[in-house]
A and B are shown apart, each in its own frame.
Chain A
């Protein structure tokens, strides 16, 4: 009995040790760890040009960056071709950002995301973004702050914008979820280069995986208002000063220099709900509750009184509604439902199997009614 036990232990150790060579080691310094890929459609061939950003480990150089350009028809071929130009084994396990160039994003980016979905080593938390110029140029921007390489910088750039609620988050996971969900289209941040430095300048509205239009930084607020919720948001609104004429306290006889009143609201919390009121007539009702703090007013208005405060709130409501109608109207024209009206419609019409194409046909015809309730909670003590 004891003898067989002993033999078993020796045998299992033998198997353990010999079979350990079956798994492929990835020793860190032998790897070219990719942090970002950029994809461009090659105008001459059918192939895709890839820009691959790698970590380059060298203790003598503080900058851990290497950029390789390669091409191929598929994502994995681009990686494999990049490997021909490098002594390191190129791996995707630390991938953080995927950027698609202008042509490719107008033709559909889904085919290149497929491989990531299948590869368990790649994180779902990477960001998908679109560039307004060829990614080859974008990724050679040399100012990437203190980040080890441009891939990390791009990730930090988008992450900071998402965390400060300036743009709508578009991780790979979220992108895929909205891509496959009927009645919801993905959004992606749009990157551009300014003074040799990459920045986020808009978000792109997608129809399925095709970029159809953009929303400027100011308009993103309204997309986010419906699609997401704010916890610590911020918005600037411009009002007509004439509406507040009676409430203005003049600084020492200073004549009115401008006609606009700029209001900045921060600590903004929001909650929006989209309801279908009539499925036949495609009538929607949107209830939005907003609250926040006035942090900046370009003119001296005494908000201590209930009159100006109420006036201010209703003016904000009106402004937001106007802007919402504008933004939603534009997305209807482009046929990109980034707000999720279709999700609610699909919920309300259970039983009919709504497809994404169906909804893209219906979406331009919907009518939306807005109920906005703004509450200014604090406005600061100024005297």
Chain B
């Protein structure tokens, strides 16, 4: 809330008057508004600041210290002698209050017609640390921090090129937050940039809170369970995506960057796939996609097969399945729901608790309850294997949001499998497939390269081939420059024993 003052020009005034007015009218008698009065040659000067918002070292060394050492006192001299870049002159009280909130010190010599402010904010920030949610084994492990300066610095350090373009937006009515679009001008598609720019500039909300909240405001389909923009805390992943022709969004006070447009399969990639050799990278990528299928299908298949389709169970499995089911008093659907619910409980409890307790929780939940549940005949032990396997498989997804989506989507699938058997399962899959196929991310197809089928992009998404052969950027992002480098000539072959 900004106060209006009746007087068009506030100054000159008494020092005590200025302090009182600032305190009463602007800060509701805040106890944190501090001031220091300096005397010199019969003149008096006041420095006003908010205690916890200014950098104390700067304040005493460069503002107060300089004032004390300056022989002639007037605002023009102060502006020259105080070595702080962000200085402004104000004639009204109102903007001074705003400046103070941003971390400025206000300097006023009694009797002058205006007032000086020097921006010396104190910013609490942590050093870039190891990534927590997207941990890597091989490759750079540094992650974004909550400071926009640090994040931009991290990105710029990784891409020392003049074509890196940063556009600034301020979003939020109540708490204005700085948002930056980052992209490589000579690679990123112009339509994509325009689209993102439009979406950000029309966004009229009170507060963006965080990068992950911002994505929810500007996503293509906010009703979908699948995330459409990649949220990452790894600067190297962020930069890799920019080099592929995607756009990045950084939000002030948020420790994650947003990458767009994203395809469904890009949620199953890590930069680690690129750092390891191509065959391992290709293997792990395929592994994750298979794991996703396992995670989604295994429990519903169990439910469907045991409720309706005993014909399809191989006879080697039939006996052990039958034996373990005889003691279970529930139908397979209820049995599976109970166990899946249990696993979700353990996961959620483990996530909410402090790390040390969380580990104990995992052991108690996993081993003790799991064992007891089977012993008590609540579920069959084969289902325990299946549910544990599919939970495990869902955690292989590198993107936390996508992993959660996969875990949640199992529940409706299970219910349909329990109600309709494989017919229900097929219908549910068809529903998901249709949903994925018509989904967009920043107006680009989401399910690319499978639909629209883009065989040239398969090496970039589902598996990987040696870098020398994949010298093209993903077509689906429509980058301005498709070729990363010219295809190398084959070296002349020579025998090793020549």
Contact with A along B306-331 (1 / 0, CB 8 A): 11111101010011011111111001
For A94, give its contact among B311, B328, B331, B424 (CB under 8 Å): B311
- Within the complex, the shortest CB–CB distance from B316 to chain A, in Å, comes to 9
Give the CA-CA distance A29 to B326 in the complex, in Å.
6
Query: What residue of chain B has the Cβ atom nearest to residue A155's Cβ?
Result: B315
B313 A28 Cβ-Cβ under 8 A? yes
Candidates A33, A57, A123, A152; contact of B326 at CB < 8 Å: A57
Say yes or no: is B73 at the interface (Cβ < 8 Å to chain A).
no
Residues 115-137 of A, flagged 1 when their CB comes within 8 A of B and 0 if not, give 00000010100000000000000
* Distance A180 CA – B153 CA, assembled complex (angstroms): 80
- Pair A28/B419 contact, Cβ less than 8 Å: no
* CB atoms of A27 and B323 under 8 A apart: no
A28/B321 in contact, CB under 8 A: yes
Q: Complex formed: what's the CA distance from A152 to B315 in Å?
A: 8
Q: Are B331 and A27 in contact (CB under 8 A)?
A: yes
Contacts of B327 in A (CB 8 A): 59
Contact residues of A between 248 and 281, Cβ < 8 Å to B: none
Residues of B within 8 A of A (CB-CB), count: 26
On whether the beta carbons of B310 and A33 are closer than 8 Å, the reply is yes
Partner of B311, one of A23, A93, A148: A93
Closest chain A residue to B314, Cβ basis: A94
Q: Is the CB of B311 within 8 A of A123?
A: yes
Contacts of A57 in B (CB 8 A): 319, 322-323, 325-326
Confirm or deny: B332 has a beta carbon within 8 angstroms of a beta carbon on chain A. yes
A25 lies within 8 A of B308 (CB) = yes
Chain A residues within 8 Å of B315, by CB: 35, 94, 96, 148, 152
A191–B444 Cα distance when bound, in Å, is: 66
A75 on interface, CB distance cutoff 8 Å: no
Contacts of B323 in A (CB 8 A): 57-59, 64
Which residue on chain B has the smallest CB distance to residue A92? B311
Decide if A23 touches B310 in the complex (CB within 8 Å): no
Asked whether A28 and B319 contact (CB < 8 A) given A17-B419, A20-B419, A93-B310, the answer is no
A27:B318 contact, CB within 8 angstroms = no
Q: A28-B306, A121-B311 are in contact. Are A55 and B319 (CB under 8 A)?
A: yes
Residue of A nearest to B321 (CB): A28
B contact residues around A58 at 8 Å (CB): 323, 326
A55/B322 contact (C-beta < 8 A), A23-B421, A25-B331 known = yes
B217 contacts across to A, CB distance below 8 A: none
CA distance A29 to B380 in the complex (A): 12
A93–B326 Cα distance when bound, in Å, is 19
Give Cα A27–Cα B309 distance, bound, in whole angstroms: 8
Task: Report A17-37 CB contacts with B as 1/0, cut-off 8 Å.
Answer: 100100101111101010100
Instruction: Across the interface, name the chain A residue whose C-beta is closest to B328.
Output: A29
How far, in Å, is A12 (CB) from chain B's closest CB?
Answer: 11
How far is A96 from B316 in the complex, measured between Cα atoms in Å? 13
Query: With an 8 A cutoff between CB atoms, is B420 at the interface?
Result: yes
Residue pairs across A and B with Cβ atoms less than 8 A apart, 20 shown, are A16-B416, A16-B420, A20-B419, A20-B420, A23-B420, A25-B331, A26-B307, A26-B308, A26-B309, A27-B331, A28-B313, A29-B322, A29-B328, A57-B319, A58-B323, A64-B319, A91-B310, A93-B310, A94-B310, A94-B313
Give A residues with C-beta under 8 Å from B.
Answer: 16-17, 20, 23, 25-29, 31, 33, 35, 55, 57-59, 64, 91, 93-94, 96, 121, 123, 148, 152
Residues of B within 8 A of A (CB): 306-311, 313, 315, 318-319, 321-328, 331-332, 416, 419-421, 423-424
Please provide the 3 A-B residue pairs with the shortest distance between their CB atoms, ordered closest to farther: A93-B311, A57-B322, A20-B419
